[in-house]
Amino acid sequence: MSTSTPALVVDQPGGPFVARTVERRALRDDDVAIAISHAGICHSDIHQVREEWGRAIFPMVPGHEIAGVVTEIGAAVTDVRVGDRVGVGCMVNSCGECAMCKDGFEQHCERGAVMTYNGRDYDGVVTLGGYSRSVVVGERFVCPIPEGISSAEAAPLLCAGITTYSPLRRWGVGPGSRVGVLGLGGLGHMGVKFAAAMGAEVTVFSRTSAKAADALALGASRHVATSDPDALRPLRNHFDVLLNTVSADLDMNAHLRTVRPRGVMVNVGLPGGDYGVRPSMLVGNSRVLAGSNIGGIAETREMLEFAAAHGLGASVEVIDADDVADAYDRVVAGDVRYRYVIDVSTIEA
């Protein structure tokens, strides 16, 4: 039998949020039922609620940074036990058989990974995300939260954490690497923490100097306010890896100039527009322009272990269900230090 659970539901593009019950499927043999305690607010939630990426599926329950406790497991579940603290990120299903899935890149599944919300599972059922009191997810997509990271600080790792950890790893960041992080928001602040923990020298690019002290406290050694038109000049050809987390269009050519010959600018920010890159910016110095989409499940588990080993989680502001609409506006305004996380026990339907 399916179960009803209170959730924050959006019925049309742009909102509002309405607290009411939604249905979660009856437990299958390989399913895990989770009582959600915390759900992070990712800028991707805002893009989708506001249809900034094109048509979305409504009613929608956003939320793909989920932390909670296992309440029930299916008969075939082997690696998760009732009472475990676990997280769920951006995906809840994939074919499990294609080359990408087998290599641990479920996000690039050839059949199409099923997103945690605003998606359709292979049985046709629309997925509903983590702004909710409970969820049922296949065991393959459930990640243990190590001791030492609180659930509130762990929830954002399931998207903001893995989305920044994965490209830093892929592009070989380690001791002595010069890493630039563009935009100090939810993703950006995790990029700084991870790059610093990997031993890199980290520079933060933010629009103003308002977050300068925070950038240094998070592990950066330099903060640059991009509002100063001359600020980028001393950093020409400087970075091994430039991680762009900005949620809006920006002057890519100006930033590419700061990447050293053969270095990489890797983009994770997803504004709706085009990049507008001049080919000479890439060709002249053999620079790489790359993108990165979240990370696979094995790497997500590795990232959680890495975070625990380095004593780091997200820097969060925990809010109630009533504050979510306001939090969206504040995220868009850049007014978040550095992730809003919903205490989902405050969702009452």
Assess 42 for contact with Zn ion (CB under 5 A): yes
Angle at 30 between CA 40 and CA 130, to 5 degrees: 15
* E strands in the chain: 3-10, 17-24, 31-40, 66-73, 85-88, 91-93, 114-115, 134-138, 143-144, 178-182, 201-206, 222-225, 239-244, 259-267, 288-291, 316-319, 339-343
Assess 166 for contact with Zn ion (CB under 5 A): no
Per-residue x/- mask for ligand NAP, residues 155 to 174, rule CB under 6 A?
----xx--x-----------
Assess 297 for contact with ligand NAP (CB under 6 A): no
Tokens 């300068």 belong to residue:
212
Which amino acid appears at position 83 of this protein?
G
Per-residue x/- mask for ligand NAP, residues 304 to 343, rule CB under 6 A?
---------------------------x--x-x-------
Residues numbered 236 to 255 that lie near ligand NAP (CB under 6 A) are 245-248, 250
Residues numbered 28 to 67 that lie near ligand NAP (CB under 6 A) are 42-44, 47
Residue 300 interacting entry, from Zn ion, ligand NAP, none, C-beta within 5 to 8 Å by type: none
Report yes or no: 22 and 140 within 8 Å, Cβ to Cβ: no
Report yes or no: 320 and 343 within 8 Å, Cβ to Cβ: yes
Q: Which is nearer to ligand NAP, 73 or 232 (CB)?
A: 232
| Residue among 44, 93, 203, 300 that touches Zn ion (CB under 5 A) | 44
| Residue among 21, 285, 293, 346 that touches ligand NAP (CB under 6 A) | 293
| Residue among 25, 108, 170, 207 that touches ligand NAP (CB under 6 A) | 207
Tokens 């070989």 belong to residue:
172
Nearest C-alpha neighbor of 105 from the set 116, 115, 94: 94
Q: Give least dist CB 42 to Zn ion, A.
A: 3
Residue 135 CA neighbour count, 13 Å, CB half = 34
Residue 247 interacting entry, from ligand NAP, Zn ion, none, C-beta within 5 to 8 Å by type: ligand NAP
Specify the 3-state DSSP secondary structure of 46.
helix
Residue 146 interacting entry, from Zn ion, ligand NAP, none, C-beta within 5 to 8 Å by type: none
What distance in Å separates the CA atoms of residue 286 and residue 243, rounded to the nearest whole number?
Answer: 17
Binding site for ligand NAP (CB under 6 A): 42-44, 47, 159-160, 163, 183-188, 206-207, 211, 245-248, 250, 268-271, 292-294, 331, 334, 336
